[in-house]
Chains A and B, each alone.
Chain A
């Protein structure tokens, strides 16, 4: 096996390529991460993410790309976190969109754990400060009432 073969084998396991025509119909897919039903309908109608970017994809020029990092994916038999990249390409003489899904679930889950800890401690600290301020003002107010 050559280096290129190892590289292809490694990349093949975590990247899915999907080709979509301009109307949103599936042309081809490698089914690495998930499979589409036998006769999928219009993907722009069936996948909300694609529906929301259909205008952007229509405006994409050949050779241009748009990327979306860290998408929470829940598609048929796959659930995880992927980076998406969309390219406008020429396929069989027609313009098509190449949708590349890169599975970074383990990496993003690890990041999520760290973010959870950071956020919880920041929120806790802020709420304690608010509580302290409220107690201070309550004490001051009750002091004024007592004096009065």
Chain B
């Protein structure tokens, strides 16, 4: 068994955290929105440069800020994936404060920022919206068609070993 790493998925409700996990772990997608309550845990083992990493993914119910989430969910997390919805500004308007607060809480946990639902944008809209997002270095993803989903998790896994 490889190194075991707890990864938490954070972000507002409806941004597609559960869909990203379903796409990443099971290669499935459903158009139907089904809210997550509490936390659902899934596991995927990835190999990076011959190192096996066992990613235990905590898909946590969405909230406008991570401060509304029980502390025990975040306790001992090795890495964070923070998801936003490119179509809903409310899901990223406070992202700078969220990043600062998360870095204070989990100083050793790397954060990968994921901008989801890019399949709903034209190439032109993608450029416009991404240029106007606060902060940078997002992985542009689509849980629907799978675009860059592996890349987002792989990027985090690489930072965990």
Determine if A119 and B13 form an interchain contact, defined as CB atoms under 8 angstroms apart.
yes
Q: Please judge, given known A-B contacts A72-B38, A81-B38, A119-B35, whether A45 and B1 are in contact too, CB under 8 Å.
A: yes
Stretch at the interface among B82-90, B101-109, B132-140: B82-90
Cβ 8 A contact of B39, one of A71, A120, A123:
A71
Q: Please judge, given known A-B contacts A68-B70, A71-B41, A126-B88, whether A51 and B54 are in contact too, CB under 8 Å.
A: yes
Determine if B87 and A130 form an interchain contact, defined as CB atoms under 8 angstroms apart.
yes
Within 8 A of B (CB), among A72-95: 72, 81
Please count the residue pairs between chain A and chain B whose beta carbons lie under 8 angstroms apart in the complex. 81
| Residue from the set A72, A108, A111 with the largest chain B CB neighbour count within 10 Å | A72
Tell me if A115 counts as interface (CB < 8 A to partner B): yes
- Main SS of chain A's interface residues? helix
- Complex Cα distance A119/B85, Å? 14
Determine if B6 and A52 form an interchain contact, defined as CB atoms under 8 angstroms apart.
yes
Tell me if B43 counts as interface (CB < 8 A to partner A): yes
Tell me if A127 counts as interface (CB < 8 A to partner B): yes
CB closest chain-A residue, reference B1: A45
- Complex Cα distance A51/B75, Å? 14
Determine if A70 and B39 form an interchain contact, defined as CB atoms under 8 angstroms apart.
yes
Q: How far is the CB of A74 from chain B (nearest CB, A)?
A: 9
Interface size class of B (residues with CB under 8 A): 20 to 34
Tell me if B51 counts as interface (CB < 8 A to partner A): no
Tell me if B127 counts as interface (CB < 8 A to partner A): no
Tell me if A67 counts as interface (CB < 8 A to partner B): yes
The number of residues on chain A lying at the interface, defined by a beta carbon within 8 Å of a beta carbon of chain B, is: 29
6 extra interface residue pairs, beta carbon distance < 8 Å, beyond A69-B70, A127-B88:
A52-B56, A115-B35, A116-B33, A123-B14, A126-B89, A126-B90
- A-B contacts, 5 listed (Cβ < 8 Å): A56-B76, A68-B39, A68-B73, A108-B37, A126-B90
- Which B residues are within 8 Å of any A CB, using their own CB? 1, 4, 6, 13-14, 33-43, 54, 56, 58, 61-62, 70, 72-73, 75-76, 87-90
- Which A residues are within 8 Å of any B CB, using their own CB? 45, 48-49, 51-56, 66-72, 81, 108, 111-112, 115-116, 119-120, 122-123, 126-127, 130
